[in-house]
A and B are shown apart, each in its own frame.
Chain A
Amino acid sequence: MPRITRKWELFPGRNRFCCDGRVMMAPQTGVFYVTICLIAGTSGLFFAFDCPFLAEHITPAIPVIGCLLFIFVMSALFRTSFSDPGVIPRATPDEAAYIEKQIEVPNNGNSPTYRPPPRTKEVLVRGQPVKLKYCFTCKIFRPPRASHCSLCDNCVERFDHHCPWVGNCVGRRNYRYFYAFIVSLAFLCVFILACAVTHLIMLTKDNKPFVEAVRESPGSVVVSVICFFSVWSILGLAGFHTYLTTSNQTTNEDIKGSFTSKRGQESFNPYSQGNICGNCFYVLCGPAPPSLIDRRGVVTPEYRAEQKRVSEDCVITNNKVYGTVKVVQPQSNGNSVPPVDIEAGEQSTMVHEPSAWGTHQQQQQQPQHNDSSQQSSQPSHLDSLNDITSNSVTHLVMNELPLASLPLAPIDIDEIAPLPPPSIVMNNNNSMNNCNNMRSSSLLEPASVTTPLSASRLRLLQDTTMIESALDLDSLEEASIGHGSQTGLIKMGVP
């Protein structure tokens, strides 16, 4: 019997598949194993050291409750990690060609003031204008709420964030599992902490010295310490996601401040069900959307041919871009690019939050090797970026290369998921006139001034949880950056 090729084997994203496509995870799963070990190890110590004593002296219900909670936590975790977060399949060649034809603005190609085709499309969602951005990797206009995860290299529906702790994106299909995981983990953590502390207190009850109690049950001490330090971040995260759930927002939207009113323009969340209960029910128990990537489907010759066409198309476009367009590097020197009002709302900014980037950098080690073959085939204009050694930046540039290499195009740092080290800060300069005074001010200022709530909330979230992950900060809306329609420039602050 000939071997059957299944579609996951030809999947264009960077995900890792196991069990013949049944299990789907992010490309790096190191932190996921840490999560499992922490939870299983702590619970194991709890069951070994505390449970026998507490079952005997208080109630046998304690091991039962602990066990149920533990099973629930683990099953929610595995559900989150192993399921498809809601990946939107990439466009077929015909569809891509159709969209490209649509966004192509008729112009005489060699005019000096070449205007790149608009890459956004505005639609009204319940009367609220929403920008759909074109994804160069997936060759589609992203549906509302979708975003591209640069770690997994997929557009994900209702993208929340990329969570390294669970080793997967969190999106439309697995948000409910993620939420269940976080909340049940908070319960488990509090429960174990309470039990372990009770155990220790009971051991020292009869005027025994604490050292004696520690000697008698060293596991309880370890468990208490681990739980004490993790419970705060877990509770913080659970609270944050409860808030998001009640308002039917995603982390991504909350940070971008998508629904905050700006410049007197009334803005509301068009996806909300209207009330808190409705939102909770809809997000957590609403209809479960199906996976749109047919991972286990059998590859037919036609499907294979189509995939081949997709990859060939890609190569051709890239060659064209390299061959004909002179690459302007606004990154190396902001002054080399004159301010052009290309597209209102095309500014991009990036809030760099210094905390917790270490985790990411560590994670980035791996893709660097994976990508190295691709990188070496890139023309040398990436060298200056490579010097900065942030893989995430090269990665970004590779993703958005066709865009980045258009002359005068505003650089969109759309898919910059892993935040680069603090030395590399994307600064949003409003125009050349503003450039200097902007530069002298705080690098974080544009975003933190204009979206104070979100930025501070982001920092709070990250400080309390260390979960920073791939927040897609694409295009903080025009108004939230401030000063009208100027081109956003990206500046690399190299120390």
Chain B
Amino acid sequence: MPMSNHTPLEDMSSSRGQASNGPPPNCQKVFIQRDYSDGTMVKFQTRFPTELGDRLDRPTFEYTINQLNNYFAEAERASCSTYCEGCLACLTGYLIYICTETHYEKCLRKVAKFVSEQNDRVYRPRGLLLTDPTTRGLRLIEISVLDRPAS
């Protein structure tokens, strides 16, 4: 994939400088919306946005989204252990939540790790930046095109 190496790298360093939070304003953003077809659990649409056609190939994109979807499915799966956790919390009058982290929060941590890893490996080198959906209220995944101004 042809790409100009200067700009993304510069952007990379600058956004690293601003700590890990948030893409810069005033750049083009692509939003991946939620997919509600299976209920209200967190799941994102895997349709490839055409705006990213020249930066990213479809399998890479789909891998990212599917992987995120898997993490969230894992977080919201009504498994035996989550039920035990819930029951235990209920029995203690929910006081246990003061000192422990829920299964869901652990999964969100994995998501954050995965997002930053994907950013470093795939997205930043191509001038893109993936935003952790948790910071957007799990409503959408925001992909910023760092070197393209907002339309």
Contact = CB atoms under 8 A, between A and B. Distances in A.
Decide if A and B are genuine partners: yes
Interface string A69-94: 00110011001000000001101111
Nearest to A286: B78
B75 interface: yes
Please classify how large the interface on chain A is, using the bins under 10, 10 to 19, 20 to 34, 35 or more: 35 or more
A241 interface: no
B2 interface: no
Nearest to A125: B36
B63 to A, nearest CB: 24
Contacts of A94: 25, 29, 142, 150
A284 B94 CA distance: 12
B93 A72 contact: yes
Contact of A95 (B77, B82, B136): B136
Contacts of A61: none
A229 interface: no
B103 A300 contact: no
B150 to A, nearest CB: 7
B68 to A, nearest CB: 15
Contacts of A278: 78
A324 B138 CA distance: 36
Interface in A277-310: 278, 281-282, 284-290, 292-294, 300, 302-303, 305-306, 309
A320 interface: no
Given A75-B93, A285-B87, A300-B21, A98 B40 contact: no
A98 B83 contact: no
Contacts, number: 122
Nearest to A97: B150
- By secondary structure, the A interface counts as mixed
Contacts of B134: 290, 292
A151 B51 CA distance: 40
Contacts of A71: 93
A123 interface: yes
B119 interface: no
- By secondary structure, the B interface counts as mixed
Interface string A122-162: 01111000100000000010011100000000000110000
B107 to A, nearest CB: 9
A230 to B, nearest CB: 21
Contacts of B18: 300, 302
B105 A287 contact: no
Interface of A: 71-72, 75-76, 79, 88-89, 91-95, 98, 123-126, 130, 140, 143-145, 157-158, 176-177, 180, 270-271, 273, 278, 281-282, 284-290, 292-294, 300, 302-303, 305-306, 309
15 contacts: A71-B93, A123-B37, A125-B40, A126-B38, A158-B40, A273-B78, A278-B78, A281-B83, A281-B86, A284-B90, A285-B86, A287-B75, A287-B76, A287-B77, A288-B103
